[in-house]
Amino acid sequence: MEIIPVLDLKGGVVVRARMGERHLYAPIATPLAATSDPLDVARGLLAVHPFATLYVADLDAIEGRGDNGAALRQIRLGCPGVSLWVDNGIAAAAAAARWLNAGIGSLVLGSETQSDASLVRSLSGDDRIILSLDFRGAAFQGPSDILDTPSAWPAQVITMTLARVGSGAGPDLHRLAAIRRIAPGRRIYAAGGVRDAADLAALAHAGIAGALVATALHDGRLGRAEIAAL
């Protein structure tokens, strides 16, 4: 079970995500860092455990309101040896090529920002590509042909349940099991609702490769001792 801490960036700072209501996200206050500065928060998370990967959502870029490229570069330089998974709303081949050539990190293609399945299909063989299947409630966010064609998915797939992000509701084990059934051979990652080590153990038992986690780390329900036990 791979634990991947999440940083949601908006307006140059890390914000606390809750249930996908992005207009309500406010700068994070966490015991892991003195400020909401992205590098401060990243280092605070890495002080809990030497995580191999950080997931970063550039919410401004996803919503087409600028970007947090400077913050991403600071994290990249300030956290050597840590891989970055970045969702920045890219949905065009040229933009994806520029991003990958920049060498900042792996690219997360969020289904909610895709206009069709062509980019996902064309890059599915690139191990720097991660597909995020985004759900809001029962509704899939994005072109239906992405969800309906698991044979065109890359090797790593996130199942993002937006309504459970920061909610304390627990991961959506039913949906994760359904995605895993139709995509044998892919590494499936859970995002949204992870509360504690028990949830991570349940995900591991269900064959899930890893989980994106934020609130449980900042609230102390998932700390050094719990991670060491896992």
Is it the case that residue 19 has pLDDT exceeding 70?
no
The 10s digit of each residue's pLDDT in 143-180 is 999 999 999 999 999 999 877 776 667 899 999 999 99
Sequence-ordered list of residues with C-beta below 8 angstroms from that of 62, at least 6 positions apart, any chain:
87, 88, 89, 110, 112, 113
pLDDT score at 24: 65
- Four-residue CA torsion sign, 180, 182, 186, 189: negative
Averaged pLDDT of the chain: 93
| pLDDT classification of 137: cutoffs 50, 70, 90 | confident
| pLDDT classification of 230: cutoffs 50, 70, 90 | confident
Q: Are 2 and 191 in contact (CB under 8 A)?
A: no
Distance in angstroms (rounded) separating the CA atoms of residues 165 and 105: 23
Number of other residues whose CB lies within 10 A of the CB of residue 167: 17
pTM for the full predicted model: 0.94
What values do phi and psi take at 121, rounded to 5?
A: -65, -40
The 10s digit of each residue's pLDDT in 195-220 is 999 999 999 999 999 999 999 999 99
